[in-house]
């Protein structure tokens, strides 16, 4: 590869890494500053994942011109895949636990579809408090 192309790739990689780091910083500040569980859950999931993906893209771009056998781009793709798959599940579980323990301010919700489902499940179970949900 030409030296100019490698220089351009280096700058693109630096910009991706800086943008990813900035998004991760914003996510960390949001975790501290936001008042309720749903807002904190949102800021923990959305910008953090995008920030990590940008950092991984930056590292991947930087590794393309360098032929190395120790660490390759496939590892970065696996890390990104696991993050994209696990973060929504963790956010969903966090929201359900917060809802069931009463830590969510119901005045901030536009719709509460889970309450209707839980009420209908309780009616079907005879109000026995089915713990399998």
Whether 133 maps to a domain, the answer reads no
Whether 50 maps to a domain, the answer reads yes
Q: What does the alpha-carbon distance between residue 124 and residue 42 come to, in Å, rounded to a whole number?
A: 33
Determine the straight-line distance between the first and last CA of the chain, rounded to whole angstroms: 57
Structure tokens at 7: 């220089």
69 — pLDDT class (breaks 50, 70, 90) = low
- 117 in Cβ contact with 78 (< 8 Å): no
Structure tokens at 38: 């749903």
Whether 16 maps to a domain, the answer reads yes
The number of distinct structural domains making up the chain is 1
Whether 69 maps to a domain, the answer reads yes
Whether 132 maps to a domain, the answer reads no
Give the pLDDT score at 131: 53
Q: What pLDDT digit, counting tens, does each position of 70-99 carry?
A: 667 788 889 999 999 998 888 888 888 888
Give the pLDDT score at 116: 80
Structure tokens at 89: 């599940």
Domain that holds residue 63: 3-124
Q: What pLDDT digit, counting tens, does each position of 43-63 carry?
A: 888 888 899 999 999 998 888
Whether 43 maps to a domain, the answer reads yes
36: number of CA atoms within 13 Å, CB side? 13
| Percent residues over pLDDT 90 in the chain | 29
What's the angle, vertex CA 30, arms to CA 51 and CA 112, rounded to 5?
105
């Amino acid at each position: 590869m030409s030296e100019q192309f490698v220089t351009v790739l280096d700058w693109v990689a630096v910009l991706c890494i800086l943008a990813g780091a900035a998004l991760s910083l914003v996510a960390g500040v949001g975790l501290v500053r936001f008042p309720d569980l749903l807002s904190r859950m949102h800021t923990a999931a959305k910008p953090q994942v995008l920030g990590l993906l940008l950092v991984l893209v930056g590292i991947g771009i930087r590794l393309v011109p360098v032929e190395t056998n120790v660490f390759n781009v496939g590892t970065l793709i696996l890390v990104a895949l696991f993050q994209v798959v696990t973060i929504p599940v963790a956010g969903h579980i966090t929201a359900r636990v917060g809802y069931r323990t009463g830590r969510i301010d119901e005045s901030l919700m536009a719709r509460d579809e889970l309450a209707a489902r839980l009420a209908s499940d309780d009616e079907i179970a005879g109000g026995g408090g089915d713990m399998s949900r």
